[in-house]
Chains A and B, each alone.
Chain A
Amino acid sequence: MAFGALAAQKGFSLAEAVAMTGFVYAGMAQFVAVQSWPDTLTPSSIAAVMLLTATVNVRFFLIGASLRPWLGTLPAWQVYPPLTISTDTGWLLATRYRDRGGADASYFLGGLIVTYFFWTVAAVPGYLLAERIANPKTFGIDLLVPAFFAAFLIPSWRGAQRAIPWVISGTVAAFVDWLTPGYWFIIAGAVAGSVSAAFLTEESANGR
């Protein structure tokens, strides 16, 4: 919805805004790309947008990797189609469901389809409301995703030992963000956190 509002401010037509949501379907990448949308599209500016999209979305690469132990036993034709529309939100909800002991993979796959329709349709009222919400910051909309992410850490809390990789990841990410432009910090932090978990002692290993 917030994306529709942003697209309207940047001079996209409603059909273009919905098309981007339907095809790209990656909230953060859409925001970043539209925010820095080039005035004229040349092959090189399209390449720049592509690179930007890739760096913002590298996390989907990691998300896919984290799903392997769960969905790896399913036949490929059941896994790959839903994966093409996987999202942060769907993934977070499904991961939590699984942490509670749920094992039904259709929860993840079905949830993705539902999320897809809501997200795409929600861009329309956002676009139409855009002139009223001149500045999304007034309503804290720009902090929606960080707030949702942070809240997710609570149910996945499993003792201080298991949180050490999170701290390492966040610290590395903040540092890389400060050092380099772009979105490499997500990758750097997540990889650092994950690798650090590999070297932690036994207590952290017996979680599951």
Chain B
Amino acid sequence: MAADLLRTDIMIAIAVMGLVTVAMRLSGFWLMGFVPVTPRVRRMLDALPGSIIAACVLPVVVSGGIVAALAVISATLSMWLTRNDFAAVLTGMGVAALARLAGLG
């Protein structure tokens, strides 16, 4: 595997992935330029960040079982108490590690 540092086929696949990702990043912002921002559109955009987060996290908790739930809950609690996202993430990962050490999940 180390013989070829950069294999052509893999680099092509990587380039394709990169292009798709950049297209996604630019098109959302660009398309919204054509939509007039009424109060209703405004409310939709304001609710979007929290909705994206909820949509990313909740399925992980549902499918990840007790360990994922403990990690997410403890990270949220830690954030609430400390208001420090670094501490929150460390708490979440630590709780997950401990839970697995204890044989959960």
Residues of A within 8 A of B (CB): 11-16, 19-20, 23-26, 29, 33, 41, 46, 49-50, 53-54, 57-69, 71-72, 79-80, 83-86, 91-92, 95, 137-156, 162-163, 165-174, 177-178, 185-198, 200, 204-205, 207-208
- Judge whether B102 is part of the interface by a CB distance below 8 angstroms: no
Q: Determine how close the nearest CB of chain B comes to the CB of A46; give it in whole angstroms.
A: 5
What would 7 A/B residue contacts be, using CB atoms closer than 8 Å? A12-B1, A23-B14, A50-B13, A69-B45, A83-B29, A141-B93, A153-B53
Q: Contact check: which of A13, A154, A200 meets B80 at CB < 8 Å?
A: A154
Task: Encode contact with A along B43-80: 1 for CB under 8 Å, 0 otherwise.
Answer: 11111111111111111111110011001110110111
- Judge whether B39 is part of the interface by a CB distance below 8 angstroms: yes
Complex Cα distance, B60 from A1, in Å, reads 21
The answer to whether B68 touches A165, judged by C-beta atoms less than 8 angstroms apart, is no
* A84-B50 contact, Cβ under 8 Å, with A64-B32, A198-B43: no
Which residues on B sit within 8 Å (CB–CB) of A137?
100
* A190-B55 contact, Cβ under 8 Å, with A46-B16, A200-B43: yes
Which residues on B sit within 8 Å (CB–CB) of A178?
59, 62-63
Which interface class (under 10, 10 to 19, 20 to 34, 35 or more) fits B? 35 or more
Q: Contact check: which of A67, A145, A147, A173 meets B29 at CB < 8 Å?
A: A67
* A46-B50 contact, Cβ under 8 Å, with A53-B21, A150-B76: no
The answer to whether A151 touches B54, judged by C-beta atoms less than 8 angstroms apart, is no
The answer to whether B61 touches A146, judged by C-beta atoms less than 8 angstroms apart, is yes
Task: Encode contact with A along B18-52: 1 for CB under 8 Å, 0 otherwise.
Answer: 10111011111111110001011111111111111
Scoring B5, B22, B51, B57 by chain A CB atoms within 10 A of each residue's CB, the highest score goes to B51
Complex Cα distance, B88 from A42, in Å, reads 43
Complex Cα distance, B45 from A154, in Å, reads 18
